[in-house]
């Protein structure tokens, strides 16, 4: 049985690519060893750099999404930024083998930021509705 050098997953003799991680498989003529080409490792490096950048973006978006809730006039931006962060995270999770704590934290902050913002908007809507109702009742009471 052969094993993938990249992820350690078992590979069939007939496989050209690892079924688990997709690394190309170069077999020795008689041997059982499996080699990962240098190209793949370079690709893997640039992939992880890309993922690092995206991870940082998820963290920053999460922080902004949470923090903007405290700035009334631009609060709506926290929904937008939070949703972008959540979308980035779902792509990140498919590509990354491990998800660092900071990226997870960014994702959670995005969810909290979006929910908080939505809750504040709903609350202020009901607050407006309540005050309209109050003043119309007050008007009626004064008129009678």
Q: Which is nearer to Zn ion, 23 or 117 (CB)?
A: 23
Judged by CB under 5 A, the number of residues near Zn ion is: 8
The correct pick among 1, 2, 3, 9 for binding Zn ion (CB under 5 A) is 9
The yes or no reply on residue 20 touching Zn ion (CB under 5 A) is yes
Q: Which is nearer to Zn ion, 10 or 133 (CB)?
A: 10
The yes or no reply on residue 105 touching Zn ion (CB under 5 A) is no
Residues whose CB is less than 8 angstroms from the CB of residue 25 and which lie 6 or more positions away in sequence, other chains included:
2, 4, 11, 15, 16, 17, 18, 34, 35
* Nearest distance from C-beta of residue 29 to Zn ion, angstroms: 21
Sign, CA torsion 12/17/10/19: negative
The yes or no reply on residue 6 touching Zn ion (CB under 5 A) is yes
The yes or no reply on residue 18 touching Zn ion (CB under 5 A) is yes
**Strand-pair partners of 26:** 35
The yes or no reply on residue 7 touching Zn ion (CB under 5 A) is yes
Strands 34-35 and 26-27: antiparallel
DSSP 60-106: HHHHHHHHGGGSGGGTHHHHHHHHHHHHHHHHHHHH-SS--HHHHHH
The yes or no reply on residue 65 touching Zn ion (CB under 5 A) is no
Q: Name the phi and psi angles at 77, rounded to 5.
A: -65, -25
The correct pick among 1, 2, 3, 4 for binding Zn ion (CB under 5 A) is 4
Q: Which is nearer to Zn ion, 11 or 111 (CB)?
A: 11
Footprint of Zn ion on this chain (CB under 5 A)?
4, 6-7, 9, 18, 20-21, 23
């Amino acid at each position: 049985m052969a094993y993938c050098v990249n992820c350690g997953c078992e590979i069939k003799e007939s496989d050209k690519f690892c079924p688990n991680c997709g690394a190309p498989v170069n077999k020795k003529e008689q041997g059982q060893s499996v080699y990962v080409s240098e190209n793949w490792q370079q690709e893997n490096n640039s992939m992880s750099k890309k993922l690092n950048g995206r991870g940082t973006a998820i963290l920053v978006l999460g922080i902004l999404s949470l923090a903007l809730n405290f700035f009334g006039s631009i609060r709506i931006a926290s929904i937008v930024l939070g949703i972008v962060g959540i979308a980035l995270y779902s792509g990140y999770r498919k590509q990354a083998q491990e998800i660092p704590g900071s990226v997870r934290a960014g994702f959670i902050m995005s969810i909290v930021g979006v929910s908080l913002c939505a809750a504040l908007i709903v609350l202020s809507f009901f607050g407006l509705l309540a005050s309209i109702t109050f003043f119309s009742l007050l008007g009626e009471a004064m008129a009678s």
